[in-house]
Chain A
Amino acid sequence: MRLHMPVFDRRRFLQVLGGAGAAVALSSAAGAESAPDTNAEPVPAPPAPQAGPDQMEQQTAGLPDAATTYRPTDKPSGRALVFFTAVEAAFVGAAIERFIPADDGGPGAGEAGVLCYIDRQLAGSFGAGHRMYLGGPWPDGALPSQGYQLPLTPADLYRLAIAEIHQASRQANGGKTFAELSGEQQEAMLQSLDKGELHLPSAPGKAFLDLLLANTVEGYFGDPAYGGNGDLGGWKMIGFPGARGNYADAIVLYRNKPYDELPLRLVDLQN
């Protein structure tokens, strides 16, 4: 079933239920099953004009430096955040745009809704470490071949690492947050995380960077039901026809020829 509910109506609906708290609960429930989130219009509708201020207020209320650091990279969809604080959203919004910048070839990660994708994932079962073995003990000296060995869920890891990167950036850059740095400075900081050269007080910077990059690619190329891949920009960029999935004749007819049918989404197959 497909819900045809305009954005502003939905917000009113949630306010009736109890505002942002209800939004968190609904999204978490959807995440727990990894079900396509019916709150998300697969192709995001343009935000209703009256939704903008509400949204900003919701995201910045009570957070000290949010007004100077938050840049709403998720603007096209106008969707509320349900996991990230404004500080966290500012960092992630800037970092994912470094990973997948906008250019003539296709949308940037921000425009594609990747911030919304990651936010919802972290609010749901993925963020909570569902289907991970999280029992101790946690001895030192894990080998790379043994994989992830931290007592942190993905949500924990994001929260811890972003807070420490935030502090590291302000200390090294005269109080500037990551999002306030120049593109070159941001790139240098991400590279030093990738190389394991930026030592954070407790967070494993490299493991965090790997996770953030993987989640960015997921949001960019996953089905738009999950909040990313807005306007199917990731799929159109590379020529992936999405959930379409019937090439019984095409596999011969299109040998060494581009297949140019528009992509289909999960929701198109559910109708």
Chain B
Amino acid sequence: MPSRLKPVDVVIVGFGWTGALMARELGDSGLKLVALERGGDRDTDPDFQPGVMHDELRYAVHHRLMQDVSRQTITFRNRRDQTVLPMRQLGSFLPGSGVGGAGVHWNGRHWRFLPSDFELRSHISNRYGAGFIPPDMSIQDWGVTYDELEPFYDRFEYLCGTSGQAGNIAGRQVPGGNPFEGPRRRGYPTPPLKSSWAMVLFEDAARRLGFHPFPQPAANLSRPYTNPEGAAMGACLYCGFCEGFGCEVRAKASPQATLLPAIRRNPNFELRTNSMVLRVNLDGNKTRATGVTYLDARGQEVEQPADLVVLCAFALNNVHLLLLSGIGKPYDPDSGQGVVGRNYAYRIVSRAGLFFDNQVFNPFMGAGALAMCIDDFNGDNFDHAKRGFIGGGTIFCGSTGGRPIQYHPVPDGTPRWGAQWKKAVTRYYNRSCQVTAHGSTMAYRGNCLDLDPTYRDFYGRPLLRMTYDHQDNDIRMSHALTEVCQQIGKAMGARQLSVELAPTPYSIVPYQTTHNVGGATMGADPKTSAVNRYLQSWDVANLFVMGASAFPQNTGSGPTGTVGALTYWAADALRNRYLKSPGPLVPI
């Protein structure tokens, strides 16, 4: 029998970005809050100090900040007629674990989605006709608009101290920023980062080609900043140990750097680490959550009753918990019925590798989000009618830190090893840069998540089963963007170019990105969404599900800005409406 603890008002499952934001937003309500985090505690000092962190092998190769797949993994296949097998090592994506979650190791690419992204099906139908959307593409509107989220985007940017150049302040175009962005109420809290030499070349080439380059919005701070929570953050050192690492000077926004000091001051808040939530418990009618059951550090089952449960795990793990707990109707791709596991989407990444004779890039100098970008081919910023596909992406040239185990680019035709390989690595380590396209993937009827019938995790639970492949629409989009990457690369003066396309069929082996989205999507219709526009479960009104699991499909921009904004948006509805009158915030 699990031990049963005293009830609390709110239990938060997972303590990364969304868990920390929710803990802070509900913190002054007088409620008793408990956050359960599967991993351990860690903080900037001593855990992220350079004598620990500047270790490529430990963190980038051995993934010491990431989910331990010996405990929890997925099974995977490209199509439903294939034998499904477990993901035995991390590869394509890297969910974080421990206090701060992926908010510790993320790059800091801090985007807003485009206004049309939130109304994708309506927008595409209106502009190109409903017939433009392929029949198996299950894209949909979010149920929330850019204008509604704008104040919350703003709050999250000012929490993070994000560096950038505004392109559109209240409808007024601002030179040097992203001319395609939705209107923002004010500029970024801190000015853009310094440009690396590769970015200087990219900016010049993109401008000559008629594109609109701007510095990527970066939650890597260009100067010291004190945020509205009173947290003092440092200026970026361009140390090159950022993506996949924790920041030593609080220059990369993380829950630790922005929120934890304020959260820890709340006597009504308790953080329990090494606490692995196994399921959400429901009442007899399965309409109300009664709390959660978790394993403590010694492997003992503990039941934590609560009036309100907020799932704040990684997107895939939120969906896993919903399926394991019997919350919401599981999606069935044959009938198209059901919602949990529906519309899982990813991202499609490609790049041009540029090799120069006479340019020196010092690739080890950098920051996770240090890049020059164009948004000319993102979303619906360009005419898709002649292209015949939906979607797009950001194209950028960045300097994220060329650590040599994983970064030693060589031109096509170089042998895999030996004297020639060694010469090429030596010659090109400092004479290369890349132009990368991060493209959207749409949602499709066959790309989905459910429970695996065979394989179990360390805790004895069925693994989450992922069925996913890149689809023709997205592959064609990616090819078009890759051509632009090459075009810019040539204009930058590269002597030689190599092209790296996304693996097709999609493979879980090479790292691509951790922008896994969907599976518990938000929307206006309970038949096609698991949560309503406030991220509240349609089926269990005292359960809210944060994070990118709510995205109905992916966009061409990084997800974290929107994850933060949606959490503030949901917390606002919780505080101002739900707590006053608990129940469905949207009538069914």
What is the interface of chain A, defined by CB distance below 8 A to chain B?
34, 36, 98-101, 103, 105-106, 126, 129-135, 137, 139, 141-149, 187, 190, 194, 213, 216-218, 221-223, 225-226, 234-235, 237-248, 250-252, 254-259, 266-267, 269-270
Contact = CB atoms under 8 A, between A and B. Distances in A.
Contact of A266 (B54, B64, B416): B54
A142 B49 CA distance: 41
A240 to B, nearest CB: 5
13 contacts: A133-B73, A135-B456, A145-B508, A145-B509, A223-B55, A238-B404, A238-B425, A243-B54, A245-B54, A245-B239, A247-B238, A248-B238, A252-B194
A187 B416 CA distance: 12
Contacts of A129: 70
B325 to A, nearest CB: 23
Interface stretch (B78-86, B156-164, B443-451, B530-538): B78-86
DSSP class of B's interface residues: helix, strand, loop or mixed? Answer: loop
User: What band does the interface of chain B fall in when counting residues whose beta carbon is under 8 Å from A?
Assistant: 35 or more
A143 B77 CA distance: 8
A96 B418 CA distance: 9
A137 B87 CA distance: 13
Contacts of B306: none
A256 B360 contact: yes
Nearest to B201: A256
Interface stretch (B24-32, B499-507, B550-558, B560-568): B499-507
B241 to A, nearest CB: 6
A190 B416 CA distance: 11
B416 A194 contact: yes
Contacts of B194: 251-252
B237 A246 contact: yes
Interface string B364-383: 11100000000000000000
Interface string B7-48: 000000000000000000000000000000000000000000
The 3 closest A-B pairs by CB, nearest first: A245-B239, A243-B54, A269-B51
B239 A246 contact: yes
Interface of B: 49-52, 54-58, 61-64, 68-70, 73, 76-78, 82-83, 85-91, 194, 196-197, 200, 235-241, 359-362, 364-366, 399, 402-405, 408, 416-419, 422-423, 425-426, 429-430, 454-456, 503, 505-509
A194 B365 CA distance: 34
A145 B78 contact: yes
A131 B63 CA distance: 9
A255 to B, nearest CB: 4
B564 to A, nearest CB: 26
Contacts of A133: 69-70, 73, 86-89
Contacts of B402: 240
Contacts of B87: 133, 146-147
B37 to A, nearest CB: 18
A122 to B, nearest CB: 14
A254 B62 contact: no
A146 B361 CA distance: 36
Contact of A131 (B70, B82, B454): B70
Contacts of A258: 360, 362, 430
A187 B364 contact: no
A240 B365 CA distance: 10
Contact of B57 (A34, A239, A241, A246): A34
Given A134-B70, A137-B454, A250-B365, A234 B404 contact: yes
Given A126-B62, A139-B83, A143-B77, 11 more contacts: A105-B423, A129-B70, A132-B70, A145-B503, A145-B509, A147-B87, A190-B417, A218-B405, A223-B55, A254-B365, A266-B55
A245 B430 contact: no
Contacts of B364: 240-241, 247
A270 to B, nearest CB: 4
A145 B57 contact: no
A131 B68 contact: yes
B422 A145 contact: no
Contacts of B404: 221, 234-235, 238, 240
Nearest to A108: B422
Contacts of B366: 247, 251
B508 A245 contact: no
Contact of A251 (B49, B55, B238): B238
Nearest to B196: A251
A247 B237 contact: yes
Nearest to B430: A239
Nearest to A187: B418
Contacts of A257: 360
A270 B55 CA distance: 12
Contacts of A144: 507, 509
A241 B61 CA distance: 19
Contacts of B508: 145-147
Contact of A147 (B82, B91, B405, B416): B91
A101 B86 CA distance: 37
Contacts of B78: 143, 145
Nearest to B239: A245
Given A223-B55, A239-B430, A149 B365 contact: no
Contacts of A255: 196-197, 200
Given A133-B88, A240-B429, A245 B50 contact: yes
A126 B63 CA distance: 11
Given A103-B419, A144-B507, A247-B240, A149 B430 contact: no
A149 B88 CA distance: 7
Contacts of B240: 245, 247
A222 B86 contact: no
Most buried by B among A126, A139, A142, A252: A252
Nearest to B236: A248
B509 to A, nearest CB: 5
B405 A221 contact: yes
A218 B200 CA distance: 31
Nearest to B455: A135
A189 B233 CA distance: 55
Given A213-B417, A221-B405, A142 B85 contact: yes
Nearest to B423: A105
Nearest to A144: B507
A267 B417 CA distance: 30
Contacts of A131: 62-63, 68-70, 89-90
A217 B507 contact: no
A248 B82 CA distance: 50
B422 A100 contact: yes
A243 B236 contact: no
A132 B418 CA distance: 30
Given A221-B404, A241-B364, A269-B50, A100 B69 contact: no
B396 to A, nearest CB: 17
A79 to B, nearest CB: 18
Nearest to A248: B237
Contacts of A106: 422, 426
